Amino acid sequence: MAQREIKTYGNEVLKKKAQPVTEFNEELKKLVDDMLETLYAHKGAGLAANQIGIPKRVVVVDTSSKEEGSRLYILINPEIIEKSKETIIVEEGCLSFPELYEQIERAAKVRVRAQDMNAKQIEFEAEGLLARACQHEIDHINGVLFIERMSPVRRMLHSKKLRELKKQNKSKK
């Protein structure tokens, strides 16, 4: 297992739609292991593979540090198949946007379909933080960032921070 560098805002990989996983092999296991190590090292609630630079449809979600009774979800090729009409607005952050938090409106409940590490289909209902994390991470693998879910006014309030993040990214290369 190895911790990987988290790609931050301004890195092109975050804007690309990730590719479906077709091979459920050792390489996938290693990717998931690395994602988990990276997630826990940063105390995040979720991580998508493209956040560590791998454009594949792999997501890990673990809200146990913030919510009781939750568990780890390893989701391969996940999709939201149902969304409640009811929405809730909660403050959200993203490991690819250090120190940026904003109120984001999302469906209160969702139904998620995915595959597990053995390619078996799984389906579950999610609410609370789990529903939010699943929506956030599935957005990631579709190349959608949480700032795109902000109202234009709220996003404008963060424009300085966003410019800084982009600049840091350029100097990294």
Which residue has its beta carbon closest to Co ion? 94
Taking the least distance from each CB to Co ion, the nearer of 94 and 165 is 94
Closest separation between CB of residue 51 and Co ion, Å?
Answer: 6
Question: In this chain, which stretch among 18-26, 56-64, 92-100, 105-113 interacts with Co ion, using CB under 5 A?
Answer: 92-100
Taking the least distance from each CB to Co ion, the nearer of 49 and 94 is 94
Question: In this chain, which stretch among 3-11, 91-99, 108-116, 160-168 interacts with Co ion, using CB under 5 A?
Answer: 91-99
**Residue 92 catalytic?**
no
Strand residues in the chain grouped as ranges (E): 46-48, 58-62, 72-83, 87-94, 97-107, 109-115, 121-127
* The pair of three-digit structure tokens given for residue 173, joined into one six-digit string: 């290369």
Closest separation between CB of residue 82 and Co ion, Å?
Answer: 22
- Pick the catalytic residue from 12, 137, 148, 164: 137
The CA-atom distances, in angstroms, between 60 and each of 85, 88, 123, 157, 161 are: 25, 22, 15, 30, 27
Closest separation between CB of residue 118 and Co ion, Å?
Answer: 26
Closest separation between CB of residue 74 and Co ion, Å?
Answer: 17
Tell me, letter by letter, the H, E, C secondary structure of 83-108.
Answer: ECCCEEEEEEEECCEEEEEEEEEEEC
User: At residue 75, what is the residue type?
Assistant: L
117, 127 contact by CB (below 8 A): no
Per CB under 5 A, 129 contacts Co ion: no
92, 146 contact by CB (below 8 A): yes
- Which of 31, 94, 112, 129 touches Co ion (CB under 5 A)? 94
Kindly list the residues in this chain that would bind Co ion in the complex (CB under 5 A). Answer: 94
Catalytically annotated residues: 137
